[in-house]
Amino acid sequence: MKLVRYGQSGTEKPGLIDGNGALRDLSGEVDDIAGDALSDAALDRLRALDPAKLPLVEGTPRLGPCVGRIGKFLCIGLNYSDHAAETGSPLPEHPILFLKANSAIVGPDDRVSLPRGSKRSDWEVELGVVIGKRAKYVSAQDALDHVAGYCIVNDVSERRFQGKLSGQWTKGKSCDTFGPTGPWLVTRDEIADPQALDMTLDLNGERMQTGNTATMVFSVAEIVAHLSGLMTLHPGDVISTGTPPGVGMGKKPDPIYLKPGDVMELWIDGLGRQRQEVVEDD
């Protein structure tokens, strides 16, 4: 299934994309794509519905973040071997973890606002993993059973804030609008292998990032298992699993950073597309 949340920011309704690509309203079946609605049993109940009998949503409403009431937004750094190489960084021995503030989360096509003082804001197309079942001390073998599904995340990053403001990476990752998430949550039964997904990011129509989740240093299963040994993962937690090469800071001979008027377009095989226009913060 492809599950969505549509409508104005803060008042999104749950929906699904039917086999013809039409948006169907799920408000009569579930209050939100969040929490207990992400369990296997709840998803099975939605899967059993006949989409043709659900109300058709007319027009092209805004799509919000594909998961509501996100608990933790956990992010993994330097998790692609080819991205680590472009930054000149050694491969990590364990997953590098940082947090992205929930206030950064926006819809997949919402504008990205450059914060005051930003000179080095950058893009990162990433595979997002949405937890559907409580996970604590799970093994890598069982880890994917705790995943509700997958989505696209743009881990927008202000590199000066990230590396030069005497703090951890979270400073450069948590600015408002720096976490576009969606367009939809694709349930795990539709993704045969999360380690075989192509992904791209274009800036103003020019290809910047090309990658595949096969080059992850730590697989989705390994990441979920590792994090579950550090903290309990709850339904609705989102894990952004790292980015392939082609980020702006890695461009040679001169880095490229975002400016007002730029347009980012992201794609991951089977997970849809995002598009964001870059603007200056108010």
Report the CATH number that the domain containing residue 121 is assigned in CATH: 3.90.850.10
Average pLDDT, the chain: 95
User: Are 25 and 129 members of one domain?
Assistant: no
User: Are 155 and 99 members of one domain?
Assistant: yes
Q: Is residue 101 part of a domain?
A: yes
Return the pLDDT at 86: 81
User: Are 49 and 79 members of one domain?
Assistant: no
Check residue 230 and report its DSSP letter: T
User: Are 149 and 205 members of one domain?
Assistant: yes
More confident residue, 251 or 83: 251
Percent of the chain at pLDDT > 70 equals 98
- Residues 214, 250: Cα–Cα separation, whole Å: 20
Q: Is residue 124 part of a domain?
A: yes
Residue 117: pLDDT band with limits 50, 70, 90:
confident
User: Are 150 and 121 members of one domain?
Assistant: yes
User: Are 139 and 243 members of one domain?
Assistant: yes
Q: Is residue 65 part of a domain?
A: no
The count of structural domains within the chain is 2
User: Are 107 and 234 members of one domain?
Assistant: yes
Check residue 229 and report its DSSP letter: T
User: Are 22 and 124 members of one domain?
Assistant: no
Helix (H) or strand (E) run with residue 171 in it: helix 170-173
pLDDT in tens, 134-158: 999 999 999 999 999 999 999 999 9
Question: In this structure, which amino acid lies at residue 58?
Answer: E
User: Are 47 and 163 members of one domain?
Assistant: no
Tell how many helices (H) and how many strands (E) occur in the chain. 6, 18
The 10 Å Cβ neighbour count of residue 168 is 13
Which residue, chain included where needed, has tokens 């730029």? 262
Residue 83: pLDDT band with limits 50, 70, 90:
confident
Structural domain boundaries enclosing 29: 2-53
Q: Is residue 34 part of a domain?
A: yes
- Residues 70, 98: Cα–Cα separation, whole Å: 16
The 10 Å Cβ neighbour count of residue 263 is 13
Structure tokens at 16: 């699904």
User: Are 37 and 151 members of one domain?
Assistant: no
User: Are 82 and 218 members of one domain?
Assistant: yes
| Edge-first strand listing for the sheet containing 263-268 | 112-114, 272-280, 263-268, 198-203, 206-212
Q: Is residue 68 part of a domain?
A: no
